[in-house]
Amino acid sequence: MIIFSGSSNKHLAESTAGGMGVNFGHLEIFVFPDGERRVRVIDKVVDENTVVFQSTSTPPDQNYMELFFIVDALKRSGAKSVTAVVSYLGYERQDHVFRDGEAVSLEVIIETLERVGVDKLVAFDLHSVKVPELFSIPVLHLSALPLFAEKIKNEFKDEIILVSPDMGGIRRIKELSESLGNTPFATIVKNRDLETGRISDSQLNGDVRGKISIIVDDMIATGDTTVDAARLLLENGATKVFAFATHAVFTNKAPEVLQKSGIEKVWVTDTINIPQEKKFPKLEIISVSKAIAEGLKNF
């Protein structure tokens, strides 16, 4: 096996390859003045099983195009197979038609990934458990929940309540609750304006009074969902609020919004690379590289 990486999350690829004792392959990625990319595989890959890491986070289109070109270059260079480790699958939230006339962007992405030659795909905490069913190739769907459960067991000794900040996260919160010995959980019903994407209102189901509340979500993008949930929990008597999310999508204002909020600490993973300027004092990063290494060994 040879592991390659696109530009978006090289650190995760290198740490996974290092942990597995697997060779790290070399690519030449040249960016022309107009922004176009030229990708070339430097190592010999004939009859090799290859793995490409790319997190299709911001800027998603550029990161996807780069991934498509890497896969094409590997296939043209004779690779026996290409497994794409897309630790954050951009466009995963656009998995069906929400309003008449919309494109199903995720289906376009999946068709392209398969058409350029991806043989297998490794993904992390997909927005919906149904996403793997949209692929024709095998998908290994990994989760950060076991890592979060371990962290919660070690960090919190007082009474806690898990909180899903929206109804889409109920399966996730139930699974985490079970793995923590049926820890109680609460849910928030969140409504969004389908045109602007902004939260229009939210209601809490569950009793958080006097308890440490732990919000768990698949991703934090603007931070609005997490911060709005924290506000609601504190208004309803939670003693302290903490947050866990797998993907640190972090649009520009998110770090500031999270740091200024009533949340004590935010844990995210390294499925998306977080540049120095987006790190903030309340943030802690948990690495998923061991989970990916384990997953790749048996996939």
Query: What is the contact surface with ligand R5P in residues (CB under 6 A)?
Result: 165-166, 168-169, 217-225
Yes or no: say if 58 and 249 are a contact pair by the CB < 8 Å rule.
yes
Q: Which residues contact 19 (CB under 8 A, 6 or more apart)?
A: 289, 290, 293
Yes or no: say if 143 and 124 are a contact pair by the CB < 8 Å rule.
yes
80, 130, 151, 190: the active-site residue = 190
Minimum distance between the CB of residue 236 and ligand R5P, rounded to whole angstroms?
Answer: 19
- 253 given a catalytic annotation: no
Minimum distance between the CB of residue 229 and ligand R5P, rounded to whole angstroms?
Answer: 9
CB atoms within 10 A of CB 33: 5
Yes or no: say if 284 and 68 are a contact pair by the CB < 8 Å rule.
no
Q: Which residue type, as a one-letter code, is found at position 262? A: G
Query: Which residue, among 250, 252, 248, 245, has the nearest Cα to 230 in the 3D structure?
Result: 245
Element (H, E) at 286: strand 283-286
Q: What is the largest CA-CA distance in the chain?
A: 61
- 105 secondary structure, DSSP code: H
Rounded Cα–Cα distance for residues 13 and 3 (Å): 7
Minimum distance between the CB of residue 250 and ligand R5P, rounded to whole angstroms?
Answer: 9
Strands 283-286 and 263-269: parallel
Strands 212-220 and 199-205: unpaired
Give 260-281 as a DSSP string: HSSEEEEEEESSS---GGG--T
Minimum distance between the CB of residue 145 and ligand R5P, rounded to whole angstroms?
Answer: 14
Beta carbon nearer to ligand R5P, 217 or 270: 217
Beta carbon nearer to ligand R5P, 54 or 225: 225
Beta carbon nearer to ligand R5P, 225 or 273: 225
CB atoms within 10 A of CB 281: 8
Beta carbon nearer to ligand R5P, 6 or 165: 165
Residue identified by tokens 């790319």 is 54
Minimum distance between the CB of residue 273 and ligand R5P, rounded to whole angstroms?
Answer: 18
Minimum distance between the CB of residue 198 and ligand R5P, rounded to whole angstroms?
Answer: 9
Strands 37-41 and 27-31: antiparallel
Beta carbon nearer to ligand R5P, 71 or 233: 233
Beta carbon nearer to ligand R5P, 147 or 163: 163
Active site residues: 190
